[in-house]
Structure 1
Amino acid sequence: MPKRSEEMLTDVWTSLMLVWITCVPYTSMTPISRQRILSRAKRGWVWNQMFVLEEFSGPDPILVGRLHTDLDVGSTPIKYVLAGEGAGTIFAINEITGDIHAMKRLDREEKAEYTLTAQVTNRDTDQPLEPPSEFIIKVQDINDNPPQFVEGPYRASVPETSQVGTSVTRVTATDADDPVYGNSAKLVYSILEGQPYFSIDPNTAIIKIALHGMDREMREEYLVVIQAKDMGGHMGGLSGTTTVTVTLTDVNDNPPKFSKSLYEFVIPEDLAIGQPGGKVKANDRDIGENAKSTYNIIDGDERDVFEITTDAQTQEGILRLKKPLNFETKKSYTLKVEAANIRFDPNSGAPFKDTATVKIAVEDSDEPPVFSKPTFVLQVDENAPINTVVGTVTARDPDVTGSLVRYFIDRHTDLERQFNVNVDDGKITLAKPLDRETDMWHNITVTATEIRNHSQISRATVAIRVLDINDNAPEFATEYEAFLCENGKPGQVIQTVSAVDKDDPIQGHYFEYRLIPEMLNNPNFTIKNNGAKHDTFRRQKQEMYFLPIIVTDNGNPPMSSTNTLTIRVCGCSREGIVQSCNVEAYVLPIGLSMGALIAILACIILLLVVLFVTLRRHKNKPLIIKDDEDVRENIIRYDDEGGGEEDTEAFDIATLQNPDGINGYLPRKDIKPDLQFMPRQSSGPNGVDVDEFINVRLHEADNDPTAPPYDSIQIYGYEGRGSIAGSLSSLETASSDSDQNYDYLREWGPRFRRLGELYSVGESDKET
């Protein structure tokens, strides 16, 4: 038999002996009479707590204990009854002896104790002999559960180079066995794997650093196996294990280091400003923020030509241009660059640094022509003749070989082609005359191109200022109209005039005003000090004057223009307030008066208006035929004359009526009636007498307030059946009968006229 099995069997027998010694009831050997039994006042059985060993399994039920009462003397039929938790299923009692047996295998970790009730009854009558009493059966623990790390596996971290004894983490194991009975739940911790780097406290399970100078750059991660053993770590105890992954976190304990001490780059001279010209890299064994470095140029010639920046992604130093390179001026550069950690050395307090040398060779490139200055400012007089030289632009090829340059004007900046440039020497000339009053400045772009390489192009802006010359005569600032009183005093100023000039002389404007030579001896008006003075006037003599005034500027040569001042002679009050002015004018010095022309034009317009009104009234006069007039003097013309006088069946009113209006009502479209009337029900034309038809319509028209106005005509095409007059459309028939009977028309003519006057409608109502 294995040694472990022997130990377990020894533990079981020991437990059974303890149960037997504790639980077997004590029985009094003194006989007790029945009379004494009936007179007892307290329970007569004796027992203590009962115990049963967990996980016990055997061929027979295990005896837990025995109940016994003092009443059980042999003469009284005693019956033991068991009730409570597990009674009858887990625990069974012998009714005669009171022995209690466990019928099933028990697990303390599932249920540690059971509360039951015992009672003694008469076997024959089932009457209780004593009150019931509770007792407890406890399940005795055995070491059947190993320790478990519920929260495992574990992960922990500790900074690299930590001191020995630095706490890393703590682990915890649990044991389901009874912690108060024996050593089944007493745990002891130990390390199975992870020495000599880590240690663990056997009681607290705290893992600590056990080795000095652990370096993350050498090894970053460690796997530690922890064991927890019960029974205080003694032989026969159960154990459980877990793993702890310990990661060393980085500290800045490594400086940056350039991969080489000398870097060499070749940079073309046409490299654009801000473009990278080379890269350097300082490696750092640390990670994260501890590996970040900054780069600087700490020494070298022309340090202001270059700058170095840090790429945040690659941690490289990018060398960039700050100023343009020129192969013809300087062909090489030598710089000293430094890489330094952002964080400091924890021991010295100074940042980690490293330096390297960078040599740069400038490569010659074919550069575009260079203008002598980026912007040229030229000037030219307005109205200068064509081919006048405005100025010259110059450019050169900066390369050593040197190439000839050709000049061109960008026509997008000179859409009107006002300038030309000589392709060889850059002289700019006029192609069209310029007007300063239209455009004072002209901005054009001139390009310079190498002859041997047309792709090398440069541009310069040329601003051309147009200088002013006196080429515009001054004019009145506005059309002046002066009013003077006929009773005004001689010498009174009647109007002050001013002039404007499109030119812009440097010395400013000065204008001279004078009358035309023909008016120098004019007795009525004089020009003095920019004012027009007058003598005494009478409206009966002349009511309007046109005074020509010459305005001259102070240019070289001077320019002048003649402007007319209109002067009206008005009737004024004594206070000089204008009361009335006429429109007749007299042109000075000779000519027809403007007032007379206006009066003639007004008369013509008045005659035209009178004529138009007369014609319109004549046109709107209604056509009324008197009863005694011969109807033959009023000719009614139809587009279709039918079949003649004898054709009384030529037209049927049913065919001329509006089919949509037979049972409907078409409202007026030119007026909105005040009252709404029901639509007239139109009767069919077949078999209807014309006399009755017309009388009904006349009655309706006379009583209908919504009847249309009298300025339109209603046409009726229905002539009735069997008319003795025949067709009305045959007044101009070719019949030779001169004895035609027109009595019918004389009788019905006035009625038709009356009907036409009442039923006059607009164009939109002709369908009815």
Structure 2
Amino acid sequence: MNYYTLPSLVLILAQLWLCTPGMQRKSIKSADQSFTAFRRVKRGWIWEPLFVTEEQITKMPLYVGQLKSDLDKQDGSLQYILTGEGAGSIFIIDEYNGKIYVIQKLDREKKSFYTLRAQVINRNTHLPVEPDSEFIIKVRDINDHEPQFLDGPYVATIPEMSPEGTSVTQVTATDGDDPSYGNSARLLYSLIQGQPYFSVEPKTGVIRMASQMDRETKDQYLVIIQVKDMVGQAGAFSATATVTINLSDINDNAPKFQQRLYYMSVSEEAPVGTTIGRVMAEDSDIGENAAMNYFIEGDSTDVFDIITDNETQEGLILLKKRVDYEAKRRYSVQAKAVNRYIDERFLEEGPFEDTTIVKINVQDADEPPVFTLENYVMEIAEGALSGSLVGVVTAKDPDNDDSPVRYSIVNGMILKRLFSINEHNGTIITTKPLDREIAAWHNITVTATETRNPEKISEVNVYIQVLNVNDHEPEFPKYYETFVCENTFSGQVNAVTLDSCPNPPANSEHQCSG
């Protein structure tokens, strides 16, 4: 076929198209399409992938790329048309040569590609030379975003003495740039502050222990992590995050007494349960790891006890049994503090305990006199003359100064009329004869008072039995008038005597009678 006749043929076909009725037009169109398909087997659109770089600022349109049909003879007979996203407002096309330009600044993070359609027609016939074709203009990323830490501020807690390499926490930064293109969104983490205790993995942001640390030395660290995009290359953007790392406590310290020797004292008058003093063992740990129990060891466990004050962690030494200055003046007590909770990881280091010695002096107190007996029982015959000896009570001052003692009877006036006591030697005598038939027992109370301290007084009960003497003739209890009748049997009359007495009475006013 002579190609010079092709334009004439196209013109004839166009005229036929316009003049042919509908049904015939469809047939002609089909024939034309078949013809076109036949003659365009090796022809079509010619273009390279199209890209435009974001954030480009210019007053002149920027060239993006060119669309070209292989039918274009560059004689101006063809017209290129652009439609789709941004056509005419963002992208324009030179209708004579198919060159595409961008006339606005683009932001890849807002829109990363645009879908457009290209069409080429014959200027004279306005018929398409090429079928419509869809193509994409991609927005190429530049490094215009700084990386950001979105989850800060960071706080992490890890047990003290954790081994080197233990993971503490992970920090994560994001970058708005395109991770699939270039290095704009490729991040690299580094440690700005925190050496030599911590390290960070450059690619993951995982923070790890770089050495073992003791909470008792320092319990909190501020670590600063820096992240850079572009794999840290020149021109990279960066951001920092602060991570507060707290060391939690473990029981790695034993209690230790503040003193190796304590001195305390207790009065011999102190009642059981008296707090004698406090001992204190310090533990560098905190919370339950510092909780401890105290114990008393040795020969003094029957005299002293110790309990734990859970608020102050002190040991309170208590009096478990009354002490006597005259019997024992000094005690040496061994107190022990033991951690209540033990961490098995540190058992090889030995027992988590400590001991101390407590010297306790017993203070002498002015004690009241002590009678030689808990109570006294005495006897005297009834009818004994006034001034007769009944018995002797004896009391002694237990203190070292051995104060003299004065005796007295504290009962009512009735008994004081019957008995008296020598205030110097405790001798009890009668002041008038006693009658057993009136009272067989007398109960008197005797006191012993220190002369140097009249407030120190002791009492004792004295039971006095009046012994019977046969001083009464038998007598009838009443007058009997008797009659004797004949043929009667002889009878018998009983007489009673007053010379009899029961056992000691429960009280001094009991009367004996028969």
Q: What TM-score comes out, normalization by structure 2 length?
A: 0.62
How far apart in 1 are the matches of 2:331 and 2:263?
10
Higher helix proportion? 1
- Where 2:179 maps in the other structure, the secondary structure is coil
Aligned to 2:278: 279
Alignment of 1:351 onto 2:351: yes
Q: Which amino acid aligns with 1:302?
A: S
How far apart in 2 are the matches of 1:75 and 1:336?
115
- Return closer, same or farther for 1:204/1:128 CA change in 2, 3 Å cut-off: same
| 8 A Cα contact 1:278 1:319, kept in partner | yes
| 8 A Cα contact 1:79 1:123, kept in partner | no
| 8 A Cα contact 1:45 1:69, kept in partner | yes
In the TM superposition, 1:612-631 aligns within 5 A as: none
Deviation at 1:307, TM superposition (A): 0.5
Cα RMSD of the aligned pairs, angstroms, is 4.8
In the TM superposition, 1:78-93 aligns within 5 A as: 78=79, 80-84=81-85, 86-93=86-93
Aligned to 1:136: 136
How far apart in 1 are the matches of 2:204 and 2:8?
65
Alignment of 1:316 onto 2:314: yes
Aligned to 1:255: 254
| 8 A Cα contact 1:408 1:423, kept in partner | no
How far apart in 2 are the matches of 1:124 and 1:406?
155
| 8 A Cα contact 2:222 2:245, kept in partner | yes
Aligned to 1:752: none
Aligned to 1:304: 302
Deviation at 1:45, TM superposition (A): 4.0
How far apart in 2 are the matches of 1:450 and 1:31?
158
Q: Deviation string for 1:393-437 (max 9, x for gaps)?
A: 99998666667688989xxxxxxx9x9999999x9xxxxxxxxxx
How far apart in 1 are the matches of 2:362 and 2:133?
111
Q: Deviation string for 1:453-495 (max 9, x for gaps)?
A: 788799999xxxxxxxxxxxxxxxxxxxxxxxxxxxxxxxxxx
- Unaligned regions of 5+ residues in structure 1, if any? 1-28, 377-392, 410-416, 428-445, 462-555, 558-768
Q: Deviation string for 1:645-693 (max 9, x for gaps)?
A: xxxxxxxxxxxxxxxxxxxxxxxxxxxxxxxxxxxxxxxxxxxxxxxxx
Aligned to 1:174: 174
Aligned to 1:245: 244
Q: Which amino acid aligns with 1:156?
A: A
Aligned residues: 395
How far apart in 1 are the matches of 2:235 and 2:260?
67
| 8 A Cα contact 1:79 1:122, kept in partner | no
How far apart in 1 are the matches of 2:315 and 2:447?
39
| 8 A Cα contact 2:171 2:205, kept in partner | yes
How far apart in 1 are the matches of 2:61 and 2:415?
128
Q: Which amino acid aligns with 1:193?
A: Q
Aligned to 1:337: 335
How far apart in 2 are the matches of 1:373 and 1:188?
97
Q: Which has the higher contact order (CA 8 A, sep 6+)?
A: 2
How far apart in 1 are the matches of 2:96 and 2:449?
131
In the TM superposition, 1:735-746 aligns within 5 A as: none
Deviation at 1:94, TM superposition (A): 4.5
Alignment of 1:105 onto 2:79: no
- Return closer, same or farther for 1:233/1:32 CA change in 2, 3 Å cut-off: farther
Is the radius of gyration larger for structure 1 or structure 2?
Answer: 1
Aligned to 2:62: 62
How far apart in 2 are the matches of 1:101 and 1:129?
22
- Where 2:169 maps in the other structure, the secondary structure is strand
How far apart in 1 are the matches of 2:203 and 2:183?
14
How far apart in 1 are the matches of 2:453 and 2:283?
49
- Return closer, same or farther for 1:366/1:234 CA change in 2, 3 Å cut-off: same
Q: Deviation string for 1:671-723 (max 9, x for gaps)?
A: xxxxxxxxxxxxxxxxxxxxxxxxxxxxxxxxxxxxxxxxxxxxxxxxxxxxx
How far apart in 1 are the matches of 2:104 and 2:247?
54
Aligned to 1:33: 7
- Where 1:348 maps in the other structure, the secondary structure is helix
How far apart in 2 are the matches of 1:217 and 1:48?
68
| 8 A Cα contact 1:369 1:405, kept in partner | no
Deviation at 1:91, TM superposition (A): 3.0
| 8 A Cα contact 1:369 1:397, kept in partner | yes
| 8 A Cα contact 1:82 1:92, kept in partner | no
Aligned to 1:232: 231
Q: Deviation string for 1:361-398 (max 9, x for gaps)?
A: 1223455788999999xxxxxxxxxxxxxxxx999986
How far apart in 2 are the matches of 1:98 and 1:158?
65
Aligned to 2:467: none
Identity %: 48
Q: Deviation string for 1:78-129 (max 9, x for gaps)?
A: 3624233x33433344555544332322121222112233445687998877
How far apart in 2 are the matches of 1:189 and 1:131?
52
How far apart in 1 are the matches of 2:320 and 2:104?
93
How far apart in 2 are the matches of 1:321 and 1:31?
132
Q: Which amino acid aligns with 1:33?
A: P
How far apart in 1 are the matches of 2:115 and 2:131?
17
Aligned to 1:158: 158
Deviation at 1:346, TM superposition (A): 1.0
Deviation at 1:76, TM superposition (A): 5.2
How far apart in 2 are the matches of 1:72 and 1:373?
144
| 8 A Cα contact 1:405 1:451, kept in partner | no
In the TM superposition, 1:300-699 aligns within 5 A as: 301-342=299-340, 343=342, 346-348=346-348, 350-366=350-366
Deviation at 1:30, TM superposition (A): 10
Q: What TM-score comes out, normalization by structure 1 length?
A: 0.43
Q: Which amino acid aligns with 1:279?
A: R
- Unaligned regions of 5+ residues in structure 2, if any? 15-31, 377-392, 429-445, 462-496, 499-514
Q: Deviation string for 1:267-306 (max 9, x for gaps)?
A: 223333223110111112222233222211112x432111
Aligned to 2:443: none
Aligned to 2:188: 188
| 8 A Cα contact 2:51 2:139, kept in partner | yes
Q: Which amino acid aligns with 1:103?
A: I
- Where 1:89 maps in the other structure, the secondary structure is coil
How far apart in 1 are the matches of 2:406 and 2:90?
118
Higher strand proportion? 2
How far apart in 2 are the matches of 1:255 and 1:373?
55
Q: Deviation string for 1:521-572 (max 9, x for gaps)?
A: xxxxxxxxxxxxxxxxxxxxxxxxxxxxxxxxxxx99xxxxxxxxxxxxxxx
How far apart in 2 are the matches of 1:423 and 1:156?
90
